[in-house]
Each structure stands twice: as structure tokens, then as C-alpha cells.
Structure 1
Amino acid sequence: MNFYNKHLLNDFNLKKYEILSILETIKKSHCLSFFNKKICIINEKQSLRTINSLINSLNFLNLKFTIINNKHNIKKENIKDFSKTLGLLYDYIFIRSNNDNIVKIISKNSGSIIINILSNGFHPIQAIGDLYFLKKKIIYLFGDFNSNVFRSIIINLSKLNKNIIIFSPKIYWNFIFLKKIFNKKKIIITEKLIISKKKCIIYNDVWFSMGESDNFINKIKKLINFQINKKILKILKIEKIFHCLPCFKNIKIKKTKFESELTKNVFESNFSFFEKQIIKKISIIKSYIILGEKTFFKVLN
């Protein structure tokens, strides 16, 4: 295992064997002995599940930490100077940011280990946690696959050679990204739903992700035919539905009421897997920390 002094800026940073090591660590019990490390959480974008999953993990491991919620530091200060200050104060920085470039600059100039817990481009903690459940099933990605969590899950699924069907409007197809990830691997991307007789898993994300400036009403109009609803439940043999919470509420467009990426009856159905997704996210964070550095913990099988 070679996590030592290694940033987690995006999903390209982890190799296949490292992902498998994280997933395997979840199954094992460990006796932990803490050594002194200074930890900071930069929360540029308010969060419920991701930040609280991290705090839950750190509390479980009896680790002290500092939270910076002040956006002034990133928006008003010189980012390189801010990064150097962080490096003097902290060993590990968990960051939730609107800008991937900010994450890269802090990693380059701080000298601290940076772990991306969400940015506009990637959501590695969410994706790695969901990999634990995505076994040898057909996986459908519904919606705009340029979202941060879709980008992360596609990268990681490609490393594990999983079969993926992307059901998305052509306007959101990103062939440059797909060629970079699946240069010699197969992937299906389509505007027409491919019906499989085998059991499948649907992976979904919010239609308006963090950092987007697109008009929400226009995006709904483009994606409304790619919604997960009762019709989809009848067409496909769905085992579970994964979603990067929170799900958007109903929206009115020209006095017409629309439900967004998931209809309410689907969101509240037995197909939903959201509770276990949240619990597994906590396990992934703990596993990453445990594997992260021997000077951080003594790990006993």
C-alpha cells in the first residue's frame, strides 16, 4: 500500500489496487493508536452528508480537527499565501471547494496532504463508497454525466472493468473525457434507453450540480425525458437506485409542476439505497485515513 504523502485531489490519483485495498479495509477490524497530526476541514460549500460523514469518522477515531467555514480566505486572500499559511498549521486538509484549481493550488503550495471531499469536478469519496455496492451488475447512469459524482464514478468503474450504459441527452456527451477514460474499454452511451433482461443498478445525480451556471429551467427541459419514474421501474429490472443526495424538490415551469431527476414515489420506494450510501461513505473515509500513513496510526489486524 502506498498512500503515504499522497493527495486525493480527484479519482485519477488512485490506482486499482489502492481502491480495492480501501474496500477491503472496510471488512476488517482494527486497533488504532493515534499519533499527533493536525487536521483542518475547509468547507467552502455548505454540506450535510459529506461534512458530517467526515466529522463522524474523525470523532470515531478520536482525532481533533479545525473547521474553516470562512469564504473570505479563498475569495479575498492571495491563494498561494493562504496555502502556505495552511501548510504551517496543518498536516492534513480535507477540502470541499467550488473550484478544482483552488484544490490543486493548495496542494502545490501548502505542503500538507490534501483530500478532496467534493469539488465542482470530482467527488471521489462518494464514488469510492458506492463502488463497494456495485457488483457484477449492469449499471445505468441517468442524466448529465458531466456532473462531479458521475465523472468520479465513471473513472473508478473503468478501473474495475465494470459495464456501464450512459443514458443521457446528446448535448451532454463528452467524448474527450470518455476517450481519456475508456481508451481501450467498452462503454455504451445512448439517448434511447437500452432495455436489458438482467438485473441492473441505476446511478443518478442531481440535475443541477455544484458550480454550474446553466439556467436550471433550460436544463430541466433537456433532461425531463431522462427522469427516473414509475415508467422506468416497469421497463427495467432494477435492483437498487443510487443517488448523490440531496434530491431536488418539485419545480414550476410556466405554471406547470415538474419533478426533477427522481420522482417522489421512486425516491421513497424500496429501490432507494440512500441510507446505506451515507453509512458507507463514513466507512470509506475511515478506511482511507487508516491506510493513509503508518505514522498516523498503528494498525493491528
Structure 2
Amino acid sequence: MVSITKIGLTGRHLLTLLDYTSTEVEQLLENALTLKEAQKKGECPQLLAGKSLGMIFENASTRTRVSFEVGMTQLGGHALFLSPRDLQIGRGEPIKDTANVLSRYVDGIMIRTNSHEKVEELAEYSSVPVINALTDAYHPCQALADLLTIKEQKKSFRGLKMVYVGDGNNVAHSLLAAGAKVGMDVVVATPEGYGVDETILARAKEAAKETGAHISVTTDPKAAVRDADVIYTDVWASMGYEAEQSTREAALAPYQVNEELAALAKDDFIFLHCLPAHRGEEVTAEVIDGKHSFIYDQAENRLHAQKAVLVALMANV
């Protein structure tokens, strides 16, 4: 019998981890570990039997689509893939109408889109939980998988230093939020002009007061990585910024995670990357394919972390 802790998130949205308490985040991680262990034993509790998840994809995805679809199947539910071609939203239907109609059909809505404002509007008018599967501002499901991976490898978040090196994008924002919620120090190192959103940074620092986490930003990657327990990076040109590739390469080249930079971290550091990765750009093959890399554990943990979210928001437990 799989025992899942009731968190009290039923019917809630997941737009950013900053909207959740530290306790709620920690309990999501504990439930993810429980569901992962059960799945490895061949046990799949049918906690979402009869439930349906509408999945709106305005951006392409490998890990997000597969992990959510498989997660719903393992939990006894059903996932519907909805591209802009499948929805009138792609032809200009108001978000309000889409939210109200889908809420009459499905038990939850997952959306992957560039606009965080669109997700907020969808949540405003939806009567079922809305899950942010990536926007230009946040990537909370990825951050939960990241935390789960760190928890498995380091056992505790307290006293850890996680360093993100690269573009101050949605992944960086969600790592700030994640670290703040679990009491893990986070340093983000970016070039001038590519820093994190100041409003999101301020919210993360405010949240960190509760857990004692230290949140900081810098333009010095070497100073940031020194004595790091976790090194994290992402592509230099996220979706929507492909036209800036050459400009970004020039600005971010000094922020490449290579063996020289990684040597400044602790001997037992772990390397993470949300994938897809461009070897030879933001990270060298020696690092991402080396002994410190846990990118495939991290990718797998998208499945288990998202199952915990789906259960917390949609199950009758």
C-alpha cells in the first residue's frame, strides 16, 4: 500500500513555487520519492483513475510531454495532447473562453507557453488546477525535479550551495524560488545584461528569510562556483531567442561550465542541466558526460516530481 501525505493543495494551481509554502514544497518532494519507490517496485497507485489532464503545448517538448503523459497513465488517468492547431486559442479565441470550456471537460490543465501572463489568465478563469509546464518567467516542474535529484544525492538541502551559471532565464528564476523554499543557498552568475528579473529576485529573497537560505547574484562565475555543491547551467539561447544566438555566444562564452571552472567547486559537486544541452557551448562534454553529472537522473525525476504535483492538485486523497 502506497502512503501519500495529504498536502492540502487540492484544486490549487502551480504557477511558481513562490506561491507555495516551504512545507508544501518539502511534502511534494517526499511524495515524489514515495511514488518513485513504488514505481520501481512495479506498484502504480491509481490515484487519478477516471481523471483527465488537458495538456496545451505552444512550444515543442520532449521531457515535458512524455513525463506528464506517462505520469497520468501510471496514476490511472488520461492525458490529452493539445497543440495550437487543436485549439481555437490558436485562432484568437480569448483565454477566458478556453479556460471556462476546458474546465468543463478535464480535471486539470497543463500549459507550456512563452507568456507567463497567459498562464496567469488561464488560471484566473479556470475552475480546475492549472500547472505551469514552462513560461518565459518560470519553470516550476523542472525545479521540483532538480530539488528531488539534489535531495537524492545530498540527502539534505541545509548547508548546500547551488550555483547557476549562464543566462538569467526562467530556469534560473525557478531555481532561486526552489532554493529559497528549501533553505539552500543559491548563487546566480550571469553577464551584464543577462541577469535575472529583479522582481522575481526580490520575491525569492523575501521567501528565503523564512528558511535561512542565502540568495545572491554576481557577474563573476569563478567566485560563484567556488566551493559549490551543485553546478547548474542551461542553454544560452532559450526558445524565442534563437535569433540572438551569435550575440549570446559572445556574451556568455566566459560562463561556459568546463573542467577549469568546475575544479573550483567541492570535490563531490554534482552537475545538473535541464536539457536539451549544447555540448561545447554552455557546457563541455567532459563535464556533462563526466562522473559528477546527474542529468539523466534529473530528467527521470521530471516524471516522479510531476506525479506528486498531479496527485496533490487533482486526486481525492
User: Corresponding residue for 1:178?
Assistant: 201
TM-score by length of 1: 0.86
TM superposition shift of 1:18? 0.7
Question: Any idea what the Cα deviations from partners look like across 1:167-224, whole Å, max 9, x if unmatched?
Answer: 2213223444322321456333222222777452101111111334761111111110
> Over residues 216-256 of structure 1, what are the superposed CA-to-partner deviations in whole Å (9 max), with x where a residue is unaligned?
1111111100111121133333521111100125xxxxxxx
Write the letter of the residue equivalent to 1:143.
Answer: G
The share of aligned pairs that are identical, in percent, is 24
Higher-helix-fraction structure? 2
Change (3 A) 1:216 1:37: same
Cα pair 1:139 1:201 within 8 Å, conserved: yes
Secondary structure (helix, strand or coil) at the match of 2:291 reads coil
| Structure with the largest fraction of strand | 1
**Offset of residue 84 of structure 1:** 2.2
SS at structure 2 position matched to 1:158? helix
Residue 297 of structure 2: aligned partner:
276
SS at match of 2:110: strand
Aligned residue identity for 2:60: Q
Unaligned residue ranges in structure 2 (runs of 5+): 1-6, 39-43, 151-156
Secondary structure, aligned partner of 1:170: coil
- Kindly tell me: are residues 109 and 213 of structure 1, through their superposed partners in 2, closer, same or farther at Cα, counting changes over 3 Å? farther
Q: 1:33 to 1:205 in 2, by over 3 A?
A: closer
CA distance in 1, matches of 2:248, 2:90: 28
Which protein is bigger by CA-based radius of gyration? 1
- Comparing 131-140 with 279-288, which one deviates more in the overlay? 131-140
Give the root-mean-square deviation of aligned CA atoms. 2.3
Tell me, in whole angstroms, the C-alpha distance in 1 between the residues paired with 2:253 and 2:226: 24
What residue is the counterpart of 1:141 in the other structure?
A: 164
Q: 1:24 aligns with which of 19, 30, 38?
A: 30
Which of 59, 62, 65 does residue 48 from structure 1 map onto?
Answer: 62
Q: Aligned residue for 1:248?
A: 278
Match among 50, 73, 76 for residue 88 of structure 2: 73
Structure 2 residue identity aligned to 1:169: P
Structure 1: which 5+ runs fail to align?
Answer: 250-258
Tell me what 2:41 maps to: none
Change (3 A) 1:196 1:33: closer
Aligned: 1:189 with 2:217: yes
Pairing of 1:1-301 with structure 2 (within 5 A): 1-28=7-34, 29=38, 31-71=45-85, 73-79=88-94, 80-134=96-150, 135=157, 136-145=159-168, 147-174=169-196, 175-183=198-206, 184=209, 186-192=214-220, 193-194=222-223, 198=227, 200-212=229-241, 215-237=244-266, 239-248=269-278, 259-295=280-316
